[in-house]
Amino acid sequence: MNEIKELPQELINKISAGEVIERPSSVVKELVENSIDAKSSIIDIYIRNGGKTEIRVSDNGVGINSKDVKLAFKRHATSKLSDHNLQKISTLGFRGEALSSIASISRMKIYTSISDIADGKSFEVNSGLIGELKPSPRKIGTTIEVNELFYTTPARLKFLKTENYETLLIKQCIQKLALSNPEIEFNFYSNEKKIISSLASNNPNSNKKLEHRIVSLFGSEFFKNLIWFNEKIDCYNFYGFIGLPTFHHSNSAKQFTFVNKRPIHDRYLYNSIKAAYKDFLSYDRFPQVVLFINSPLEDVDINVHPTKNEVRFKNMQNLRSLLVRSIKKGLESAGHRSSTINTFKTLDIINKNKNNLNFMTKKVEDPLLSNNYFKEANSKNSTEEICQDYPLGLAKSQFHETYIISQTKNGIVIIDQHAAHERIVYEKLKKNYNQNNLETQILLIPEIIEVISEELDILLNHRDFLARYSLLIEKFSNESIIVREVPLILINCNISLLMKDIISDLIEIGDSQILETNINKICSSMACHGSIRAGRQMYQDEMNKLLREMESTPFSGQCNHGRPTYIELNLNQIESLFGRK
Amino acid sequence: MDFSVSKKNLYSCLSHFQSVVEKRNTIPILSNVRIKTFESCIEITATDLALEISEKIDAKINLSGELTVPSQLLFDIVRKAPDNSEIDLREEKDSGQVFIFFGDSKFSIGYLSTADFPVMENEDFDNKMLINAKDLSYLINNCKFSMGIDESRQYLNGIYLHQTLDNLSSVATDGHRLSRCQTKITEKLNDFKGIIIPKKAVFEISKLLEGFDKKVELKISKSKIQLSIDNLIITSKLLNASFPDYESVIPKNNNLIMKTDCNAFSETIDRVSTVSLEKFRTVKLDISNDLCVVSSFGQEKSAGTEQIKVKYTGPNININFNAKYILDVLNVLKAGEVSLTFSENTAPTILKSENSPNSLYLIMQMRS
């Protein structure tokens, strides 16, 4: 039989490195977080070959004291957890694992100085063994070079992806850290090429600071489709930029969430964001957000996983409902705003067609522009001036009996009449429904639904929640419930299927929007029938009325599935199409 | 196969089949009807696997045989034939076509052999009885509107037919309301547990009984019901579910009785409920001494209200209903005096009429 032996420290470090350091981007994350914790104001990151050959992070932080050097590379050694208090963690790192982990699987070089006077030191660390300290003058701060990552663990090296992909992951990692630290300057170079260069913003306003950072990382187009929101509820502060519902992606890559300024990748948070957008987006589309949550330090536990990507909240359910509420409130402020991305799609199409001159000439002769088909509105309208102050402008005409064109102060707007009206009717129906307390049909023959006993407990615990939606349940036996009353609007639904869905929601996320979703679905189909269709001729007054209603209706910028209800082209864009600018 | 038949007979026969044959089918032969010759008649059969109808009509047979042809196409051709024409159907085995002749017209349709045509197995029917078409029609038509649509509770999707003492009773419910109709029968049924007739069969039987006033033969087995109406036989599988003990939901202690004219009440409710959303029409009844105020509320501050004279003594009652449920009942009761019996708690309300003493309707109130 084999003896039980204690593993040598070197092996322990390699094992733990497997958890903390998964790929080059993890090294970047750990090193940049160290730099941030060291109160740096400029952080430069250089990589070669996707970080596989070299990663270098250089900062102007406080530096490492030469007497602490050896200690820094020991496992669970850290300067950040001073008072042995795991309940209140304010620094990004605290486990004391990063340097020792990286050191055990690579060759490192460290240059550090704690003052601008020439007292800098440099030393090498090879697979965990610390070399001799040599004097090496530098300004205050630390530079850490990581070479030949994973050379001691060839198995992991094999699992790395292509250089491009690893570079992308590193870029995303830096973007996240940069978003949460707008007061620090970030520069990122890959194979000597500048990828990110984002200056620090001195603006005292946190909203402007973040705006500056977002524009420099993702460009101004991305920013134009975001709405600022800032809500303080209970002990939480939610703020950041949330995307317009018409600005959506096929994945959650551009959902950035931060808890106490720490980038977090958490399923619960993503689910909550999704829930907040539920009414505006189809289920397979993802909104874009840069969302910060500030919570009292003692209410969150970040010591869940060595990579610190996940958090646990003391009261997740409460947080979730507060978050959903505040995002919705933020979205409401957007009113009818629609995403500019659609404008660019339109311009793209026109620009493509421009190359084909024959086609363009034909287009000009098209009946579209001839007076017979172009149902021209009163061209000399005395109210024109006034109307142009409206965000959606004054309706000029309708074409193909489906779209309305309106003129605004500095451009034109094309509106899909059915989509726009449907949303207005839908919002009205919902409002009306919520005002007229939910009417209830008492069941003549109550429905008995079989559940397992755990589900039974959960349902009974949420009886009040269900009763708020006029769904009245009682315990029938140890393994079944009885439904006594259902909301009138849902009488034709399959109640047992509905209950099963509610149960799985309650188990998974501790809350359920199924009822609301079902009610909204019915409102939505009623709205579809109750709204004007494509193909109906509209008079100018009708069109203008529709525009005014869109302006005053929340969420009227998109239909119920996240499609835009209108597209705006401004004069500059039109002029550039004609080569005037 | 070769026969001739009058357009009138063939057309009226085929029209009985159109709603049985499913328009969209994964099994092509189910869109077909089977035609089979007998000595001096032909038999046409259609099925959707759960419901089968076959009917015999007189014909002059020149050559016997059997085949299946697309139901819709045959029906459309026959429909457009001149009214008093004789229609000739002739099979041509070599080309696999049926030729249809009338007047100067000639049509051809490809046919399929009868080998794959699904036929319901013959069954031993334990119970047989003759019943007046009128009585059966009453049992079905006066309660079918209460049937439900429910995937999880199959028993709601049909009419429950069963024996109570010397009555044959039909019951339908959608979980919110219930209808029960009864008719006296003289024949003794042996060991009849009660059956649930599925919705599609209910509608077909109701249609076939229309305008027929002779006796029909009703046969019932554990899994099927068969009805012979004149030359037509309709066979349907039964819903395999057990009907709940509905007797227990009929309240015994409702003692607040309101009586009023059926037509007037129906018109009042219809008028007042105009203001509420079409899909979910709610009416509120405020009943005091000999007066009932019917009111309804809709979107954007709209409301409607109307008073109607009633016979009522007792404490004041406020009660809400789905307007559709009341209108459905008043619709089948048609005329005369209707009585609504309430209770002081949330027990269902009973609706009855002197004109049809054998019908009983229950409606569960709404809470708002």
Rounded CA gap, A178 and A29, in Å? 11
Which of A116, A120, A143, A121 is closest to A134 using CA atoms?
A: A121
Q: Does A439 touch chain B (CB under 8 A)?
A: yes
Q: Which of A441, A472, A497, A525 to mutate to test the interface with B (most CBs of B within 10 A)?
A: A441
Which of B364, B349, B270, B341 is closest to A491 using CA atoms?
A: B364
Q: Does A444 touch chain B (CB under 8 A)?
A: yes
For A280, list phi and psi in degrees, rounded to 5: -120, -20
Tell me what pLDDT residue A85 has: 66
Name, in order, each residue with C-beta under 8 angstroms of A355's C-beta and a sequence gap of 6 or more. Answer: none
Looking at the complex, report in whole angstroms how far the Cα of residue B362 sits from the nearest Cα belonging to chain A. 8
Whether B151 sits inside 8 A of A494 (CB atoms) is yes
Rounded CA gap, B75 and B86, in Å? 15
Looking at the complex, report in whole angstroms how far the Cα of residue A462 sits from the nearest Cα belonging to chain B. 21
Q: Which of B175, B282, B362 sits opposite A447 (nearest CB)?
A: B175
Which of A126, A122, A106 is closest to A51 using CA atoms?
A: A106
Q: Which of B150, B180, B319 to mutate to test the interface with A (most CBs of A within 10 A)?
A: B150
- The angle formed by the CA atoms of residues B236, B239 and B242, to the nearest 5 degrees, is 145
Q: Which of A444, A494, A526 sits opposite B150 (nearest CB)?
A: A494
Q: Which of B153, B297, B368 sits opposite A440 (nearest CB)?
A: B368
Which of B62, B70, B83 is closest to B35 using CA atoms?
A: B70
Question: Is pLDDT at B274 greater than 60 in this prediction?
Answer: yes
Q: Which amino acid is at B246?
A: Y
- How many CB atoms are closer than 10 A to CB A73? 22
Q: Which of A427, A429, A444 to mutate to test the interface with B (most CBs of B within 10 A)?
A: A444
Q: Which amino acid is at A546?
A: L
Whether A432 sits inside 8 A of B299 (CB atoms) is yes
Tell me what pLDDT residue A370 has: 38
Q: Which amino acid is at B340?
A: L
- How many CB atoms are closer than 10 A to CB B18? 13
Looking at the complex, report in whole angstroms how far the Cα of residue B365 sits from the nearest Cα belonging to chain A. 6
Tell me what pLDDT residue A462 has: 83
Tell me what pLDDT residue B278 has: 63
Rounded CA gap, A139 and A60, in Å? 8
Looking at the complex, report in whole angstroms how far the Cα of residue A505 sits from the nearest Cα belonging to chain B. 20
Whether B320 sits inside 8 A of A439 (CB atoms) is yes
Contacts of A426 in chain B (CB under 8 A): none
Looking at the complex, report in whole angstroms how far the Cα of residue A447 sits from the nearest Cα belonging to chain B. 8
Which of A523, A530, A525 is closest to A489 using CA atoms?
A: A523
Question: Is pLDDT at B214 greater than 60 in this prediction?
Answer: yes
Q: Which of B151, B153, B364 sits opposite A447 (nearest CB)?
A: B153
Q: Does A443 touch chain B (CB under 8 A)?
A: yes
Q: Which of B282, B348, B368 sits opposite A444 (nearest CB)?
A: B348
Looking at the complex, report in whole angstroms how far the Cα of residue B137 sits from the nearest Cα belonging to chain A. 26
Tell me what pLDDT residue B362 has: 95
Q: Cβ(B174)–Cβ(B211) under 8 Å?
A: no
Q: Does A470 touch chain B (CB under 8 A)?
A: yes
Whether B367 sits inside 8 A of A447 (CB atoms) is no
Residue of A nearest to B156 (CA): A445
Tell me what pLDDT residue B158 has: 93
Task: Map tokens 């919570």 to a residue.
Answer: A295
Q: Does A528 touch chain B (CB under 8 A)?
A: no
Q: Does A266 touch chain B (CB under 8 A)?
A: no
Q: Which two tokens stand for residue A255?
A: 């959902």
Tell me what pLDDT residue A510 has: 67
Whether B322 sits inside 8 A of A441 (CB atoms) is yes
Kindly provide the ipTM of the predicted complex, given to two decimals.
Answer: 0.75
Report the SS3 class of residue B226: strand
Tell me what pLDDT residue A236 has: 87
Rounded CA gap, B228 and B219, in Å? 8
Burial of A396 (0-12, 13-18, 19+ CB in 10 A): buried
Q: Which amino acid is at B54?
A: S
CA B281 and chain centroid, separation: 25
Whether B362 sits inside 8 A of A444 (CB atoms) is yes
Rounded CA gap, A272 and A548, in Å? 32
* Beta-bridge partner residues of A441: A486, B366
Q: Which of B154, B177, B243, B277 to mutate to test the interface with A (most CBs of A within 10 A)?
A: B277
Question: Is pLDDT at B150 greater than 60 in this prediction?
Answer: yes
Q: Cβ(A341)–Cβ(A248) under 8 Å?
A: no
Whether B280 sits inside 8 A of A439 (CB atoms) is yes
Task: Map tokens 């049992």 to a residue.
Answer: B139
Looking at the complex, report in whole angstroms how far the Cα of residue B348 sits from the nearest Cα belonging to chain A. 7
Q: Which amino acid is at A326?
A: S
What is the residue-averaged pLDDT of chain B? 90
Looking at the complex, report in whole angstroms how far the Cα of residue B146 sits from the nearest Cα belonging to chain A. 12
Chains A & B: contacts with CB separation below 8 Å: 62
Q: What does each of the 581 residues of chain A score in pLDDT, given as a tens digit?
A: 678 888 887 777 777 777 778 889 989 998 998 899 888 999 999 999 988 899 999 999 888 887 787 777 777 777 776 666 666 777 777 777 788 888 888 898 988 888 877 678 888 888 778 888 888 888 888 999 999 888 888 888 888 888 888 998 899 899 999 998 988 999 999 998 888 888 888 788 888 888 888 888 888 888 888 888 888 888 888 888 888 877 777 777 788 889 888 888 888 888 888 888 877 777 777 888 889 998 888 888 887 777 777 888 888 888 888 888 888 888 877 766 666 666 766 767 666 655 544 433 333 333 333 343 334 444 444 444 554 577 788 888 888 888 888 888 888 888 888 888 888 888 877 777 777 666 788 888 888 888 888 788 888 888 888 887 778 888 888 888 888 888 877 777 778 888 888 887 777 766 677 777 777 777 777 777 777 777 778 888 888 888 888 888 877 777 776 678 888 888 888 888 787 76
Report the SS3 class of residue B270: helix
Tell me what pLDDT residue B326 has: 93
Q: Which two tokens stand for residue A173?
A: 């990692």
Residue of A nearest to B322 (CA): A441
pTM of the complete model beyond 0.90: no
Report the SS3 class of residue A90: coil
Which of B207, B196, B137, B189 is closest to B161 using CA atoms?
A: B196
Contacts of B300 in chain A (CB under 8 A): 432
Tell me what pLDDT residue A353 has: 56
Residues B53-85 have pLDDT tens digits of 999 999 999 999 999 999 999 999 999 999 889
Looking at the complex, report in whole angstroms how far the Cα of residue B191 sits from the nearest Cα belonging to chain A. 27
What pLDDT band is residue B160 in, cutting at 50, 70 and 90? Answer: very high
Residues B3-20 have pLDDT tens digits of 999 999 999 999 998 888
DSSP A6: P
Contacts of B322 in chain A (CB under 8 A): 441, 488
Q: Which of B153, B249, B320 sits opposite A444 (nearest CB)?
A: B249
Q: Which amino acid is at A435?
A: Q
Which of A60, A55, A38, A66 is closest to A136 using CA atoms?
A: A66
Contacts of B366 in chain A (CB under 8 A): 439-442, 488
Contacts of B150 in chain A (CB under 8 A): 494
Whether A436 sits inside 8 A of B297 (CB atoms) is yes
Whether A440 sits inside 8 A of B367 (CB atoms) is yes
